[in-house]
Amino acid sequence: MKSFTDKNGSAWSINLDVGTLLSIKQELGFDILDNPGDFPANVSDFVNVLWVALREQIENQNLDEIGFAKCLDGETVNTATDCFIEELANFFLPVDKAKAQAVRGMWDNLKNLKEIEAKTVENLLGVVSTGLAASSGST
């Protein structure tokens, strides 16, 4: 079981089982039980996955979907994603080591691509900024 803390200091525990993964598939259409590559690609879809996975805990906190979402900032979503992926890999480990390794590898590759993308954007913004400063006569 993996845990993360939201921006308000509340702790959430991700504990994946077949029932939870089937609920994610039935309610949201993400079949991460049979196809971990079907993991949601955007934040809003991932927050919906978290909602299904943590529904009992969320309801025990007397939160609805929006109330829960308001507890999540960018850093929390990133940490929650890491925890979810690690828990998913741990779920597969006893039954399919290759799938567990593929889940971890997929996430590591995606994080590396996002870092490269962020650095590229920073570099491009720096070039644009320098170009604008030069064209305006400032240094």
Q: Mind listing the pLDDT tens digit for each residue in 40-57?
A: 988 999 999 999 999 999
| Whether this model's pTM surpasses 0.85 | no
HSE-up of residue 8 (Cα within 13 Å, Cβ side)? 9
CB-CB neighbours of 2 under 10 Å:
19
pLDDT digits (tens, 9 = 90+) for 65-123: 999 999 999 999 999 999 999 999 999 888 888 888 888 887 676 666 666 766 777 77
CA distance 5 to 81: 12
The larger pLDDT score, comparing residue 95 to residue 127, is at 95
Q: What is the pLDDT at residue 125?
A: 73
The CA-to-CA distance between both ends of the chain, in Å, stands at 53
Q: What is the pLDDT at residue 130?
A: 56
Helix ranges (DSSP H) in 10-42: 18-28
